[in-house]
Structure 1
C-alpha cells in the first residue's frame, strides 16, 4: 500500500502554500484561493467577496455556474460522457451545424483549447499549401506581441520572445511583422507564405484593436498569394465584441477561424472553423484528438452558443460596453497620473498606464484585489478588463467604486 496515500484525499485542507509545494511553478497565482462563485460574484476560502471582471480571462462569458449551462451539463453527464473517435455523437453534430450556420464556415473541427485549435489551423494551412502548391510554400506570417497558444508550434507563431526563450530550436519558416503595419505586411507576405494568422484584437499583446484597413489588406494579400488567412478569435469571439465573432464587425472574412475560451464557458473546448475546400485537405488520420468534440463539451458549447447568438443578447453587450467605456474614460480623466487612455472593443478593454506607473500594471491589479475587485493585466503596461457578458449596470457602478478605492490607496501610498 502506498504510504503517501491519504484516505481523506478529497477533503484534506489545502491553501495557497500547497500550490508552491506540489504544483509545477508555471504560474504565480494570487494569495487568495477562490472556492465558490455565481455570475460575477466570487468568494475565497476566508469568505471574502470579490467582483470578478476577469471571467477567467474572457472565458466565463455567461458568468460562473450559469444555471442554463449547469442544467445542460448535468443532463448530459447522466447520459453519455465519452466515445473514442471511431464514433460520433449527437451533441457534436448539433454544435457543428449551429456554428457553420452562424458563420462563414462549412466545416468544423473540435479540440480542447485555443492552442489546439490554432495548432490544427496551422497544420491545415501547411498541408493545404503543400498539396496545392508544393513544399516551398510553407512560411507562416504572424504579428509581434501576438498570442496563439503554448504548444511549441503555436508559441513560436506567437510574437513574444519571452515565451520562447529556452525552448529553441523553434519550428522554422515563421516570420513576424508589427501589428497594424500595412507596409510591413506587403513586404512579408509573398508567394512562399502558406498562412497569415492574426488576432482581430490583440489580447495578451495589450488589448489593441486591429485597424480595419490592416485586416482588409491581409485579406487582399492572401487572395493574391494563395495564402490562408487565419483569424484567431479565441479571446475576441463568442460575443465579446458585441458581434458573435469580431470578423463580422470589420467586413473581413477569414479562411479559417479558431475559437475556444468562452465557447465552453469554462468547460474545455476549442474549435477550428473553415471552408469546404480547405477542409478537404485533412483526410482520415491526418489530424485528431482523443477528447475533442466529446458529448459533454459539445453540449455545453451548444448551450453557450444558443444563449449568446441572439440579437437582444449581443445588443446588450454593446450597451454594457458603452457604459463601461464611459466609466473607464472618467476614471482616466480623474486619475491621469495612473492611466492615459482606454482601448479595445466590446467587453474586452484595456487601460494603458501612465508614465508615473509604467511597468506597474500588476501593482494596480493587486490594489484592486485588496478592495475585492478582480481584474487582469496585459503585460506590464495595460490593465485588462473582460467581465462576463451578462454584466449589469449595477455591477459596472460597483466596479467604478472599487477601482477608485484601489487607485486612491495606491496613489496615496506613492
Structure 2
C-alpha cells in the first residue's frame, strides 16, 4: 500500500535511468520519451553540461537564503533579460509560483484587481493560479476562488473588448494552450490584445511555463506573435528537471516588488541557478533555436503527411517541438498503445495527443516516433465501428 496521496493517476511504469531522448524502466524496457517530463527536460535526460554544472555547485554551496547576494541569480537574470523584452527577474520554484507572483505584481502595480484569462487555460494549482485557470474541473471541490477573474474564449476579439475595462489590471494568456489542447492564438487576437492593453492601460501577462525556453523554436513563444508582454512567467524547461521558476517583468514594475513585497525561501538557490545557467546558455544560442525550429517543421510536415488518410485524425497543430494530434475520439487508449510500443506521449484534454520531445531529439528519433504514431492511429482508425440500434 502506498503512503502517497492519490493525487495522480500513475502509469505502471517505473523509470530508473534516462539519457537524451531515452528512458529505461525497472523492467529494462526502453522508451522514446516524447513527454520530457511535460516540457521540462528540454535538453533531454542527464545532459552532460547541466549535470556538470549541478555537480560542481553541489561541492560548493547548496543554500543560503535570499538575505545574501547569490552570483548565479545575477547571471541567469541577465541572460533572461537579454533574451526577452523584460528588465528584471524574480526567481521561484515552479510555474504555479511564477504565475502567483505575476498575479500579485499585476494587482500591486496597478492598484486594480480584475484579471482576464482564457477558457481552457492552465496556470497552476495554488489558489491564485487556480483561479486564473479557465477550467471548471480544476476548480471543483475547493470552494470560493480568488475573485475578480473573468474567462473568455481565446481568439474571441469581441469577448475581449466586452470584458476589459479601465478597472482591469491585466490580461493573462498562453499563446499556445498546452493543457488546453495545443490551441494556438491567432494573429488577429494577438493584435487585439495589444490594442486593448494600450487602450485601457492594463498589463499583458504571458504564461510561457510550457512554451518558453526554446520549446517552439524561439527563446519565448510570444516572439512569434509580435507581442511585448509586461510580465513573462517561465519554469519547466528552465532547469531541465531541477525545480526552478521565474517571473520576468518590465522596468515600470520594479517599484511594486520592493523589499518585503514578495519572496521565496528556496527561489533562486545556488543549485537551481547552476542548472538554469547551463540550460539557457545552451538553448538560447541562435544555432540551437534554428535547429529546434527546423526539426519542428519537419516533424509536423511528416506527421501531417503520414496521418492525412486517417478519418480519425482531425488535424496536427502546434509550433516547434510542441505538437498535438487532434482526434475524433478520446486518446487515452492511443496513448497506452504508444507506450506499449515504446513511445511516451500524453494527452492535452480528452481528444488530443500531446507530443513534447526533448529539443535535442534527432531526426531518426522523430521518424521512429512518427512510425509508431501512424501504426497505432491506423489500427484505431481501421477498428470496426460499433453501431447502436434503437
User: Could you list the per-position Cα deviations for residues 157-204 of structure 1 after superposition, in whole angstroms to 9, with x for gaps in the alignment?
Assistant: 110000001111111111001111111100011111001100011110
Compute the TM-score of the two structures, normalised by the length of structure 2. 0.96
Question: 2:62 maps to what in 1?
Answer: 81
Distance of 1:251 and 1:83 partners within structure 2: 40
Q: Structure 2 matches for 1:368-387, cutoff 5 A?
A: 368-387=338-357
| 2:317 aligned with 1:347 | no
Structure 2 SS opposite 1:22: coil
**Where does residue 266 of structure 1 map in the other structure?**
241
Shift of 1:331: 3.0
Structure 1 residue 382 displacement after superposition: 0.4
Contact 1:141 1:175 in 2 (8 A): yes
Give the 5 Å matches for 1:240-279. Answer: 240-279=215-254
Runs of 5+ unmatched residues, structure 2: 385-390
Q: Is the 8 A contact 2:106 2:169 kept in 1?
A: yes
Q: Give, in whole Å, the separation in 2 of the partners of 1:200 and 1:90.
A: 32
Contact 2:307–2:374, Cα closer than 8 Å, also in 1: no
**Partner in structure 2 of residue 389 of structure 1:** 359
* Residue deviations 1:372-401 (CA, integer Å, cap 9, x gap): 110011010100101011111100111122
Does the 8 Å contact 2:190/2:226 carry over to 1?
no
- Are the equivalent residues in 1 in contact too, given 2:314–2:326 (CA < 8 A)? yes
The partner residue of 2:172 within 172, 197, 203 is: 197
Pair 1:405–1:272, CA change in 2 (3 A) = same
1:270-311 deviation line (CA, Å, top 9, x unaligned) = 000001111211111111010000011011111100101111
Partner of 2:5: 24
Kindly indicate whether the alpha-carbon contact (under 8 Å) linking 2:81 and 2:88 is maintained by their aligned counterparts in 1: yes
8 Å CA contact 1:367, 1:407 repeated in 2: no
In 1, the alpha carbon distance for the partners of 2:209 and 2:381 equals: 35
Where in structure 1 are there 5+ consecutive unaligned residues? Answer: 1-17, 131-136
State the shift of 1:318 in Å: 1.1
Q: Which has the higher contact order (CA 8 A, sep 6+)?
A: 2
| Contact 1:189–1:221 (CA under 8 A) maintained in structure 2 | yes
User: 1:413, CA displacement in angstroms?
Assistant: 5.6
Q: Does 1:402 align with 2:372?
A: yes
Query: How many Å apart are 1:409 and its aligned residue?
Result: 4.6
Taking a change above 3 Å as real, the CA distance of residues 345 and 297 of structure 1, as seen in their structure-2 partners, is same
Structure 1 Cα separation of the partners of residues 100 and 132 of structure 2? 10
Q: How many positions carry a matched residue from both structures?
A: 384
| Distance in 2 separating the partners of 1:371 and 1:411 | 17
Task: Determine the C-alpha separation between the residues in 1 that align with 2:126 and 2:114.
Answer: 18
* SS of match in other structure, 1:92: helix
1:208 counterpart = 2:183: yes
Q: Work out whether 1:90 is the aligned partner of 2:71.
A: yes
Contact 2:325/2:352, CA 8 A, preserved across alignment: yes
Say if 2:54 is the partner of 1:54: no
Summarize deviations over 1:1-48 as a string: whole Å, max 9, x none: xxxxxxxxxxxxxxxxx5xx2111110111111111100111111000
Which of 214, 229, 233 in structure 2 is aligned with 1:239? 214
Distance, in Å, in 2 between the alignment partners of 1:176 and 1:410 is 35
Alpha-carbon separation, structure 2, partners of 1:268 and 1:337: 41
Partner of 2:388: none
Equivalent residue, structure 1, for 2:147: 172
Q: Which whole-Å deviations, capped at 9, do the CAs of 1:356-383 have from their partners, x for residues lacking one?
A: xx2x211110010010110011010100
Asked whether 1:282 is paired with 2:257, we answer yes
| 1:205 Cα deviation from its structure 2 partner | 0.5
Contact 1:113 1:261 in 2 (8 A): yes
* Cα gap change, 1:412 to 1:250, in 2 (>3 Å): closer
| Cα distance in structure 1, aligned partners of 2:370 and 2:335 | 14
Alpha-carbon distance, 1:216 to partner: 2.0
2:106 match: 125
DSSP 3-state at the match of 1:281 = helix
Q: CA RMSD in A?
A: 1.2
Is 1:318 aligned with 2:270?
A: no
Aligned residue for 1:38?
19
What is the 5 A alignment of 1:295-334?
A: 295-334=270-309
